[in-house]
Chains A and B, each alone.
Chain A
Amino acid sequence: EPEVTQTPSHQVTQMGQEVILRCVPISNHLYFYWYRQILGQKVEFLVSFYNNEISEKSEIFDDQFSVERPDGSNFTLKIRSTKLEDSAMYFCASSDVQETQYFGPGTRLLVL
């Protein structure tokens, strides 16, 4: 069964550093998403991406965040200058036009 993959599984960084989280969506999917889940809290939507541009973004997705699909397979989330409160699990998801969203296993980001 095809699946969404994410790397790294864990990332520890210093406050103020840039991080890039990587995702490989399911190959024939057209829509891509990033969500995050702070420990003990709800899964929160960050951004959706279609046709090489952002479709929708939440209030959380401020200027410190950016997304990119640098090639035909990868989908990345960059946090330019990490803050302590960015510590969370970050989930990538993908979907086809009329399908549900499939989530990856997540990247646990810890900002010190």
Chain B
Amino acid sequence: LAKTTQPISMDSYEGQEVNITCSHNNIATNDYITWYQQFPSQGPRFIIQGYKTKVTNEVASLFIPADRKSSTLSLPRVSLSDTAVYYCLVGPGMSGNTPLVFGKGTRLSVIA
């Protein structure tokens, strides 16, 4: 599985756009990039998944450059409730029966 590197922590003010970048230099051809969010004392929650270019849903956008060696999760206009740990995962396709491998994630703190 491709190793991922992301910042340990980030701070942001409410209402700002937050971009969290993840490096995955040895991503494989059939690997997808998936982001999960985890609030304290809760299970991880799927946010978004993509393979290339840009994916957008009601929660976030995911930008993936042509070489796919990095990706950026973009959270528009964050609120206090977006304070959480965000994990970037790289692995084959929709997970199906594949165990998820979590790193340490990025701890986002949103300040009023």
Contacts and interface: CB of A to CB of B under 8 A. Distances in A.
A47 to B, nearest CB: 9
A99 B42 contact: no
B11 to A, nearest CB: 20
A44 B93 CA distance: 20
Contact of A91 (B34, B43, B46, B93): B43
Interface in A65-92: 89, 91
Interface string B70-112: 0000000000000000010000011111011111110000000
A105 B41 CA distance: 8
Contacts, number: 61
Q: Give chain B's interface secondary structure class.
A: loop
Interface of A: 4, 31, 33, 35, 42-45, 48, 50, 55-56, 58, 89, 91, 93, 95, 97-106, 108
Contacts of B95: 95, 99-101
Contacts of B102: 42-44
A22 to B, nearest CB: 15
B99 A56 contact: yes
A103 B100 CA distance: 11
Interface string B30-42: 0000100010011
Given A42-B102, A56-B99, A100 B94 contact: yes
B107 to A, nearest CB: 11
Contact of A99 (B44, B94, B100, B104): B94
B49 interface: yes
Given A42-B102, A100-B34, A48 B43 contact: no
B69 interface: no
A65 to B, nearest CB: 15
